Structure 1
Amino acid sequence: MPTSDSHFDELANELEGSGASAGSMFGKRSLMIQGKGFACLKDDFLAFRLGAGSDAHTAALVLDGSELFDPSGKGRPFKDWVAVPSAHAEQWSELAEAALLHITSGAFNTK
């Protein structure tokens, strides 16, 4: 049975041609482009920086078990990020591509 780590590895390989690479963010494995993180693996969830209010953000939040990403675990979630459980790993690729587009389009605010 594939693990969250193996799904992450497949995704990292898949996105390599887009200029994305594996890295570290919040002390966790992440996907980066141009020094900016757009996906972060935490436990059995992969969190995606989709942009609050975007269609992809809204669609990700309705997936069973998904939630706003709280990397510290202290009740301070990031509004632009959605953590999606590995039960929906078949959708991780589409969500990663949406997050990558969000980052590379300059649509996110760096403040």
Structure 2
Amino acid sequence: MVSMMPKVSDEAVAAYDAVAAGLEAAGVVRGSMFGMPCLKIGKKVVAGMFGDAMTFKLPPEALAKALQLDGVEQFDPGMGRPMKEWVKIPLDRSDVWPEYAADALEYVAR
């Protein structure tokens, strides 16, 4: 079965680029995971882009907080099973992307 990546809008790319730029000083680099753009520290993935949403690997407290926001859900890359530490935050909540990117970086870089 071939899965199709969700389409990404220019607005989402711009918001993702802003988050990526904000993390560069901390040593975060752009990469790819399962064909989707992602942000990595070393070989570990911190965040990714999935359609018009960003995904973040979060510690339990930040994950619980994120899941209380409208439209936010656990990230399921299309295999029918959500990834337990990952959350997907839609473009209409991109105002919180930098905050969760910082939480994800701190968590993954430990």
State the Cα RMSD in Å: 1.4
Written as runs of structure 1 = structure 2, the 5 A alignment for 1:26-41 is: 26-41=34-49
* Structure-1 residue corresponding to 2:79: 74
TM-score for the superposition, normalised by structure 2? 0.88
* Structure-2 residue corresponding to 1:57: 63
Which ranges in structure 2 are unaligned for 5 or more consecutive residues? Answer: 1-9
What letter corresponds to residue 81 of structure 1 in structure 2?
W
Partner Cα distance (1:26, 1:40) in 2? 10
Which ranges in structure 1 are unaligned for 5 or more consecutive residues? Answer: 106-111
* Structure-2 residue corresponding to 1:108: none
Aligned residue pairs total 102
Written as runs of structure 1 = structure 2, the 5 A alignment for 1:1-111 is: 3-51=11-59, 54-71=60-77, 73-105=78-110
Identity %, equivalent residues:
40
TM-score for the superposition, normalised by structure 1? 0.87
Q: Deviation above 3 Å: which 4+ runs of structure 1?
A: none
